Amino acid sequence: AVLAPAGKSGDMSVRELRRACGAADASWCVDKKELRGVFRIAGGVCRAGECQSRLEGSCTKTLSCGHPCGGVRGEATCLPCLRCAPPGDAGATREGKRPPPTADDPCAICYVDPMGAAPAILLGCGHVVHRRCAIDKIRAGWPGPAISFNHLRCPLCGASGGEAEEVGSRQFPAMRHGSLDEEIQPVLALRDAVMRRGRRRLLAEGNVA
């Protein structure tokens, strides 16, 4: 796809616009205005393969504040804006709750790229991390020879002492997001199997009443 300068998009047909959006997700667009928005975002992205594949995984919607969404492709609900202060009392932190990170804050998993540099997800716990980093963390598995499942935890919850883990319980504070299900469900299933086996062994040895 050849990208025309953004100013020229007014003359382009819907079909031309769709083609010019390239790797960017234009599937959700229902009118030309939305297509032009995607075209604008796509046109601002570097042509390098890495940047284009990042674009491919990105939500291409423009938020009501006018900023591009920092979320992931196909998300049902857009990520809260990483560039605008959260609605309500700006800057004020509710007790025990940190505001979402800004686009310039480092990702709590990679500490390399700022939040705004790659598609990010809002986890069930309320923390925001890069989707790619969350998936890499899940795939990396447990660190040592002994099976453990702490790598499934949100690094920010872990750091703030959210230790609600109960053996075999559904309350285990894993990173929760619809787009991680495919990666994390098999590991959670393995965890449950390990817990069941461990419990059976304890029962057999008479260590559990």
> Toward Zn ion, which CB reaches closer, 107 or 152?
107
* Residue with tokens 């099976």, as numbered in its chain: 147
Strands (E) across the chain are located at 120-122, 128-130
Q: Shortest Cβ distance from residue 200 to Zn ion (Å)?
A: 32
Binding to Zn ion in span 88-127, by CB under 5 A: 107, 109-110, 125, 127
Query: Is residue 151 near Zn ion by the rule CB under 5 A?
Result: no
| Helix (H) and strand (E) counts in the chain | 6, 2
Q: Name beta bridge partners: 114.
A: 106
Please tell me whether residue 187 adopts helix, strand or coil conformation: helix
- In the complex with Zn ion, the residue whose CB is nearer, 133 or 184, is 133
Euclidean distance between CA atoms 125 and 147, whole angstroms: 24
From candidates 19, 32, 36, 67, binder to Zn ion by CB under 5 A: 67
In the set 18, 73, 130, 191, which binds Zn ion (CB under 5 A)?
130
Closest CA to 163 of 36, 83, 154: 154
Instruction: Name which of 17 and 82 has its Cβ closer to Zn ion.
Output: 82
Chain residues binding Zn ion by CB under 5 A are 59, 61, 65, 67, 69, 71, 78, 81, 83-84, 107, 109-110, 125, 127, 130, 133, 154, 156-157
